Chain A
Amino acid sequence: MENHAILVKDYVPRSFGKEYWNVKGPPQYPMFAAVALGLKPVMDDWVDVHDYERLADACAAYGLVMAPDIVFAPVEGSKEGIIGGRNITTTYSRGEKFTGQNTEGQVHILIARDKQAASDARKWAWYSLVINGRSTNKPFVDHLRYGKCLGYPPCCVNFFRTYNNWHLFSNPFETLKNTAFENGNAIGSHYCNNFLMDKGYSYIHHLPCSYRCKASTALAQELEKKLDTLEPAFIQTANRLLRKPLLVFGEQHFAIFDGELQKTAGGASISYRACQYFRNPSRPEENIAFFDEIQAGDALVMNDSHILIKDGTTTIRKAERKKEWFLIDFD
């Protein structure tokens, strides 16, 4: 296949939320819109320490306030020797107090319509940062409180409660297993497709309990309806991209295809014109080695044990399949 076009390009808002986008770019644009439109109580985000005031101004333009939490400062070197290192991802950050005078790093912030809501959410918003060589996890119940504060559906918070341990579970795979298949339809609804959230294309910013979760779909549809009147080009682009089939390797780790998924008795296949690979930046050790071959091919067949990559009638790679990898399409 010769077409190496980038499938997922950044969307630049024409008007609504442009001030936010100018500081932060695409990743949480729809969530900012949801908070600004009163559909979501609170969101959390990170902003470069030098852009803190600019983002505060952007929030104020929409009647929103920010509560700063802590600075995620860069770290060089491995996590070996860190107390609690097993609980943090390969790429991790050092915690630094936010003083307003910090010289590097990203401030973790809570954005809400009022100061109290932002401050209340901050109570449960701790992340396992490294401070003086020690990483400390928050009490587990804070994850559940935080999800509730951010407006996640109770069914999804409850699902997270069961499958949150990334040492034991692949969250997307568990979500897939919890998705009721409907004959003749795509596997998931594009309203519950959160894979592109870091590129700014997702109506939800949580791990859904199913790719057809009714509560997540309702939240997504509300946002779609309101934002469509303010930024219709975003909705058109998002709806097109969120319906494209994916090969999922794990959380934030997948390939998107411009093509069609076909389900067969023994597995599934995708014939495609173009594809793009997204790696999980926190877990570089999970990157797959055969994406170049996927890009060189024009079809991919997945069965119980293998992925076959084809170019025309020739198989150009047979890769062993991990059980938690899957193909999915959305309607």
Chain B
Amino acid sequence: MSESTTYTGFWQESPRPGILGWLLSTDHKRIGIMYLCCITTMFIVGACLGLALRLELIAPGVTVMTPQTYNATFTVHGIIMIFMFLIPSIPAAFGNLLLPIQIGARDVSFPKLNLISWYCYVIGAILAMFAIFGGGGAPDTGWTFYVPFSTQTSTNVSLVAFAAFMLGFSSILTGINFVTTVHRLRCKGLTWGRLPLFVWTLYATAWVQVLATPMIGITLVLIILERTFGAGLFDAARGGDPILFQHLFWIYSHPAVYIMILPGMGVISEVIPTFARKPLFGYWAMALSSLAIAFAGSLVWGHHMYASGMSDFAILIFSFLTFIVAIPSAIKVFNWVSTLYKGSIELAPPMLFALAFIFNFAIGGLGGLALGAAASDIHLHDTTFVVGHFHYVMFGGGGFALFAALHYWLPKFTGRMYRHKPAVISWALLFVGFNITYMAMQAVGIMGMPRRYYDYLPQFHTLNLISTIGSWILAVGLIIMFVNLWQGARKGRPVGKNPWGAATLEWTIPSPPPIENFGAEDPVVTKGPYEFKGVVADEY
């Protein structure tokens, strides 16, 4: 790769010099990189808070923080991880980086809107930081903002609700942009049947973002109005209904779970065929199950409220619909495994993370069924089992998918390869640490430990101690991974166009990609995304 030692692609080519070339850029790759920087920062902040929570729970009673600090810490941990990390992580960062390239376009449909959505994200994040450190103190409601507590507490709930509103607006704009882009800008020959699975999942996610996010927008505005004018729309004494708030909140926030996991499934669907050297098993089943998850996932919000006072009939319906979602999810897991069958498997770092994803997601998904069934949910509701389940899906699923994406695509965008040995070590630590931390949490939840308590009964001590030790292994893994990726991006070995031997469009252009991606001539696609015949991996 002698010619690529001085070549830096979109990192250098810009009409404006210096920092303005980034802050005012409408290039989807630069916006993607800016998103990536923001979400990584947010992830590190959120992870530190999570470690602090685990440290508090190392022994019964007050250990490192007061009860009020504990409440604020888990609230801020949730708000940061959900609204500022998971929701924009893969869709906004890797979606921006890859969606236009994978469909053979020069940019998204609305490049300026894309930049505006990044600014909405940044404004939202800054406002949230103000809310956490200023005035009445960090919010202590939990990330769900349940009334009546959220309308009564003196902490900065209004400001953080407005911040979440801005983040939601950013998410809507990205969704509109991606749906339009997939419909309008696919290059010649790229039929719907030849779309990479990552594009399919981004497309399904974008629909959820467009359809569901406005609901959280209006709900958060109502919280702010309640606090400002004391209107009582959710106050039973003044003609309101607190349960209605929970409905409105979950109408968005359950589909939001699929905003977080679907693009991760897309990443896994790209990584597994590449490193198994086999076409993805059941392409159409995979593509349509993405849409099915998005659709069915929008109808199951009630399963968060079995214990809130719903009618038995409603519980029955929501429970049934929840089980329906398991079908497309299971289709995905089985098809990944079938793709591996008799493949020529190469255990490169992205593949290891993808395999860990399948393992963790299977556990998280099955735990979801235990919570979706009304009978067992009554027992498990509001225990740490729920917390463990959620982290299995969101961290073990969404987080590990992001790590897989980082190891798979960063060499493409930096033009340099990280070292594989530390990557594998970090993977092993993350995988082991993750499972220790959250399996112990699930177990202690089944024993009856409630969530959101800084204190617990003595019989829960051992498992909590194990969980906290697991979180330290997890932290070491994260540090090694980020340092290794950073060093790889700075001074790793230069890579060619296609280090992994993958067949989608982004691997046909130089690493890092040039501005406008494809040079003078638009690409023409003549084969599917997973036809590896004739595709050769570049040495690095």
Does A associate with B in a complex? no
Q: Which residues of A contact B (CB under 8 A)?
A: none
